[in-house]
Structure 1
Amino acid sequence: MTTTSTETRSVVIERDFAHAPDKIWRALTQPHLIAEWLMKNDFVPALDHRFTLTGDWGSVDCRVLEIEPQRALAYSWDAMGLESVVTWTLTPSAAGTHVRMEQAGFRPDQQQAFAGAKFGWQKFLANLDEVVARID
């Protein structure tokens, strides 16, 4: 008898930002700012709100799963067979804010999606830093 593995993997990126949590939070939750660092969207910071992220390559169906202002944000991320959850955790630090992003739910047969996410989130977080630096 063979058993199939249900183990999933996560992409985790942690970065320190020289900005206060409220500025990072604004960039994570205001649609016009999300569009600047991630993708076009119809995000609303409300529990269970369904929204779509749209990029040149296609779209991602999302739903807000957790929202704790200036501390935590989680949403589902369903695209091209990948059903995952993206969780942002903001922790105030001496320098500004420690940001932890985790995208969980990559199955063993989703190596390409996993590799793409590892690359993509590095780029997205660099963009996020640039956007936050411009916020007054």
Structure 2
Amino acid sequence: MTAPATAPQTRSVVIEREVPYPPEKIWRALTQPHLLAEWLMKNDFQAAVGHRFDFRGDWGSVECMVLEVEPHRTLSYSWVAMGLDSVVTWTLTPSATGTRLRMEQAGFRPDQEQAYRGAQYGWTQFLAKLEQILAGIPV
């Protein structure tokens, strides 16, 4: 008798920040294509479950599909690029000083160490840009 097959363990990149802005303002930066392009990549995003879109950078593109939309709270989309099949989930939780922003990219296989490390670095840079963009968005 053999043991049941188990899915290979995957890892997630998680970044959490306390951001001094209301969830509604952050939501705009996460869902409006022109704002997304300023801090992440060019895109044809729409906040509609099932919408397929691409993020485009100088190095190539990421194929995505919107999986979950709960305005001002949760946004989730698939993120498929260069052999990586993952899911990015944004969670916004109101706090006393603004919003607790959580980004998780889940689905890195053990053999994707370079992609995992690249995502850790990349998302840290993207979130720093996001905070700069948020500072300039009117309430």
The TM-score normalised by the length of structure 1 is 0.97
> What is the match of residue 51 of structure 1?
53
Where in structure 2 are there 5+ consecutive unaligned residues? none
Q: Hey, what's the Cα distance between the residues in 2 that align with 1:130 and 1:109?
A: 34
Q: Hey, what's the Cα distance between the residues in 1 that align with 2:26 and 2:75?
A: 11
Q: Hey, what's the Cα distance between the residues in 2 that align with 1:107 and 1:5?
A: 10
**Are 1:11 and 2:16 an aligned pair?**
no
Structure 1, residues 68-102: CA drift from partner, whole Å, max 9, x if none? 00000000000000000000000000110000000
> What is the match of residue 119 of structure 1?
121
Note the C-alpha offset of 1:4. Answer: 7.8
Q: Hey, what's the Cα distance between the residues in 2 that align with 1:47 and 1:109?
A: 30
The match for 1:23 among 22, 25, 35 is 25
Identity %: 67
Q: Hey, what's the Cα distance between the residues in 2 that align with 1:126 and 1:37?
A: 8
Note the C-alpha offset of 1:5. Answer: 6.1
Q: Could you say which structure has the larger radius of gyration?
A: 2
The TM-score normalised by the length of structure 2 is 0.95
Q: Hey, what's the Cα distance between the residues in 2 that align with 1:134 and 1:41?
A: 20
> What is the match of residue 134 of structure 1?
136
Structure 1: which amino acid aligns with 2:91? T
Structure 2: which amino acid aligns with 1:76? S
Equivalent residues in 2 for 1:74-85, closer than 5 Å: 74-85=76-87
The match for 1:87 among 70, 86, 89 is 89
Where in structure 1 are there 5+ consecutive unaligned residues? none
Note the C-alpha offset of 1:112. Answer: 0.3
Structure 2: which amino acid aligns with 1:128? L
Alignment coverage as a number of residue pairs:
136
